[in-house]
Amino acid sequence: MGRRSNGRSELEMPDSVSTVGEQLRQARESQKLTLQQVAEITKLRSDHLRALEEGHFEVFSAPIYVRGSVRSYAQVLKLDARQLLAALDAELGQSEKFREPLPLTEERRGVLDFVMLLASKVDWRKGLAALGVVAGLVLVVSAFLIWRHYATRDPLAGLKPGVYQPTQHLSGDTLPLPAPAPPR
């Protein structure tokens, strides 16, 4: 292909063309391709390609479809898709349908908003199952600690001192002797 005076090839986007659609149309015509040929290569509808060239983005339901179509079209024409998409974003920003909606409030987002965002991303089926397992473990450990506390406690410790005399702790070497049996 021929070269321009500024060193760019003819396949690159010309500087004098203002819109993305005009750049696509001029590149397609310079390669002597018809809309139908490009439609067959890209698997895009020819009326969508025509809408892209004419700048009628409202035929697309969302900006993602416009961006994907422009990217496919640019790849077929061997154009710089990044530059085209940057220019497309500027054009879509001027479009009423695809303009970014204004925020409903001007409040700054805080920690609670961040926590709620994270909570909205949780798979609650797995989260509730994990929470159930943790709650079960806490219950089992608590039951064990309560049992151990009562198992090692002296069962007669609640009696008054006159009725019950706690045993004196003896060393482990001797055992107490039994008292002699009373005479009969």
Tokens of 12: 């690159």
Residue 12, pLDDT above cutoff 50: no
Q: Which domains does the chain have, with CATH numbers?
A: 20-94 (1.10.260.40)
Rounded CA-CA distance 13/91 in Å is: 16
Between helices 35-42 and 46-54, what is the axis angle to 10°? 120
The DSSP 8-state label assigned to residue 30 in this structure reads: H
pLDDT tens column, 79-125: 888 998 888 888 887 777 776 666 666 667 788 888 888 888 878 88
Q: For 2-11, 47-56, 138-147, which range has the lowest pLDDT when averaged over its residues?
A: 2-11
Q: What confidence category does residue 172 fall into, taking pLDDT thresholds of 50, 70 and 90? A: low
Residue 174, pLDDT above cutoff 90: no
- Cβ contact 72:44 at 8 Å: yes
- Cβ contact 57:92 at 8 Å: yes
Given this model, what pLDDT does residue 169 score? 63
Residue 161, pLDDT above cutoff 90: no
Residues 76-113 as b/e (b if ≥16 CB within 10 A, e otherwise) read bbebebeebbebbeebbeeeeebeeeeeeeeeeeeeee
The count of residues in the chain is 184
Beta-bridged to residue 3, according to DSSP, are: 9
pLDDT tens column, 135-149: 999 999 999 999 998
Mean pLDDT of 26-35: 91
First and final C-alpha spacing in the chain: 132
Long-range residue pairs from 14-19, CB within 8 A, at least 24 positions apart, any chain: 19/55, 19/87, 19/91
Rounded CA-CA distance 56/58 in Å is: 6
Rounded CA-CA distance 24/17 in Å is: 10
Residue 164, pLDDT above cutoff 70: no
φ and ψ of 36, to 5 deg: -65, -40
